A = this chain, B = another copy of it.
Amino acid sequence: MLVGAGCVEKLVTTYVLRAGGKKGGSAVERALTAATLQIEDYTNFDYNARMVAGMHGFSFMQVLEGVMATDLFHKRSFMGEDKFRVIKCPYTEKNILTVPAANPDVCIVHVQRADKDGNAQYWGAMGSVAAAALASKRIIVSCEEIVEHDIIQSSPHLTIIPAYRVDAVVEIPWGAHPTEVLGYYNIDPFMYGLFMMSDAAADGLKSWMDEWVYGCVNRAAYLDRYIGGFGSEILDGIKAKAFYSAPANHGSAFTTRWDREGRERFMGLTMEELEKTFQERGKLYE
């Protein structure tokens, strides 16, 4: 969509969605043919490895050497020598293929839920979501729901971005529509189909964007236009049913050093007895 809108001069990619099969096309293909776009191709793993390097603050990451037999390694565009470099393993002497770190300027990520501080929880296919966000210099979290902090605290294994990394958090129900959010809604085959059909030709994509991107002042306007035009039945039909994860008990035996009788659990004394002992032993500063 960004390529179609002319926002992109150079693209580093691993996969280009093609609408309409052989007879169709894509914004990327059109831009390449028109020479308005330069492209650099990696495998999914290689580009992910660039973000994993960036996420950890490393300057490079080792990747899988099989790619050295392919044109992914040999054919290079604007990245030139820095697309891949080969080093020697200091322990085994074998050739190690590497890629440079990537630290995107901004990552906008849509998740299931977050708290108002920005702790973002996501579940389902992890892919490279966490690496893409954490490698980025700024992170904007949009979510289906902003929930209370205690929901997050009880389920820390679902959190993929900690609050201190997040620059902004926004609650946008149906924020991924026409694509899907696990536990909230499925892909909307109708709207997604409309987009794919329009993407097959340049003027089709433009008119789709005029109506559904430029023509909507905000996300609420987009949804209003959708429901006004097509009714709410499709949306109702793709809402997720309940299938909840088996919870994990994060509980411990007690949450204070003092037992029910007010005695310290290790030493067996009440606070008064303890203070008295301190005084007897000359431990107290007046």
Contacts and interface: CB of A to CB of B under 8 A. Distances in A.
A78 to B, nearest CB: 15
A252 B181 CA distance: 9
Given A60-B89, A155-B246, 12 more contacts: A59-B91, A60-B92, A85-B91, A123-B157, A154-B244, A154-B245, A182-B252, A240-B252, A242-B249, A242-B251, A244-B250, A245-B249
A82 interface: yes
Nearest to A152: B246
A164 interface: no
A252 to B, nearest CB: 5
A155 B152 CA distance: 16
Contacts of A254: 186, 241
B248 A240 contact: no
6 contacts: A91-B101, A154-B244, A155-B248, A240-B253, A241-B252, A242-B249
Interface string A87-102: 1111110101010110
Given A58-B62, A157-B157, A253 B266 contact: no
Contacts of A240: 249, 251-253
A6 interface: no
Nearest to A96: B59
A5 interface: no
Contact of A244 (B85, B248, B266): B248
A85 B238 CA distance: 55
A124 B250 CA distance: 7
Nearest to A85: B90
A123 B147 CA distance: 22
A249 B244 CA distance: 4
Interface in A246-282: 246-254, 265-266
Contact of A185 (B184, B242, B253): B253
A62 B241 CA distance: 45
Interface in A45-90: 58-60, 62, 82, 85-90
Contacts of A147: 246
Contacts of A238: 253
A89 B58 CA distance: 10
Contacts of A88: 87
A248 B151 contact: no
Contacts of A215: none
Interface in A113-154: 121, 123-124, 147, 151-152, 154
Contact of A250 (B91, B182, B237): B182
A126 to B, nearest CB: 8
